[in-house]
Amino acid sequence: MKSKYSHILTLMGALLAFVPIIAVDYLLDGYVRAREKITTQQYVTAVTSQIEIGVNDAISSLRRILAESPSLCTPTFIANVQREIESSLNMKQVLVENADGVQYCDAVGRTVAYSPLSESLPIPGHTETITIVQLGGMDMPALKITQAFGDSRRVSAFVPLVGQTQAGLAQGLSNAAMMRILLTNGTPILNVGGTTDFDRRNSNSDFIFAQSFAGEMPLKVEYAIPFAMARTGYADLDVGLTLIACILSAGFLIMALNYVRRSRVPAFDLERAIARGEIKPYYQPVINLRTGELMGCEVLCRWEKKNGQVIPPGAFIDYAEVTGLAMPMTLSLMQQVKFDLSDLSQMMPDLKISINLFEGHFRDDSIVEDVQAIFGNSPISFRQLVFEITERHPLANSAIASSVIAGLHALGSRLAMDDAGTGHSNLAYLGTLGVDVIKIDRIFVDMVKPGTTQVPVLDGLIAMAKDLDCEIVAEGVETEEQALYLRARGVIQAQGFIFAPALKIGAFRELATALHVTKEPRSRIENIVASAA
Query: Please, what is the average pLDDT of the chain?
Result: 85
pLDDT for the residue 172: 76
Boundaries of every domain in the chain:
53-160, 266-532
CB count, 10 Å around CB of 167?
11
pLDDT for the residue 300: 95
CA distance 355 to 371: 11
| Of 393 and 510, more confident | 510
475, pLDDT greater than 60: yes
Q: What is the pLDDT of residues 91-111, one digit of tens each?
A: 889 999 998 889 999 988 888
483, pLDDT greater than 80: yes
383 pLDDT band, cuts 50/70/90, is very high
pTM of the model: 0.51
Mean pLDDT of 279-286: 96
422, pLDDT greater than 80: no
| CATH assignment, 53-160 | 3.30.450
CA distance 494 to 484: 11
452, pLDDT greater than 60: yes
Phi, psi of 26 (to 5 degrees): -65, -50
Q: What is the pLDDT of residues 234-257, one digit of tens each?
A: 878 878 877 887 887 777 777 766
pLDDT for the residue 239: 81
Q: What is the pLDDT of residues 318-375, one digit of tens each?
A: 888 888 888 999 999 999 999 999 999 999 999 999 999 988 888 888 999 999 999 9
435 pLDDT band, cuts 50/70/90, is confident
493, pLDDT greater than 90: yes
Asked if 320 contacts 352 with a C-beta cutoff of 8 angstroms, the reply is no
Asked if 167 contacts 147 with a C-beta cutoff of 8 angstroms, the reply is no
Does residue 283 sit in helix, strand or coil? strand
13 pLDDT band, cuts 50/70/90, is low
Distances 428 to 100, 231, 413, 434, 464 between C-alpha atoms, Å: 71, 43, 22, 11, 12
Mean pLDDT of 12-37: 79
> Fold match between 53-160 and 266-532?
no
4 pLDDT band, cuts 50/70/90, is very low
pLDDT for the residue 522: 47
137, pLDDT greater than 80: no
pLDDT for the residue 502: 94
pLDDT for the residue 520: 46
Mean pLDDT of 501-523: 80
Mean pLDDT of 395-421: 84
Topology annotation, domain 266-532 = TIM Barrel (3.20.20)
531, pLDDT greater than 60: no
- Amino acid identity of residue 407, one-letter, is G
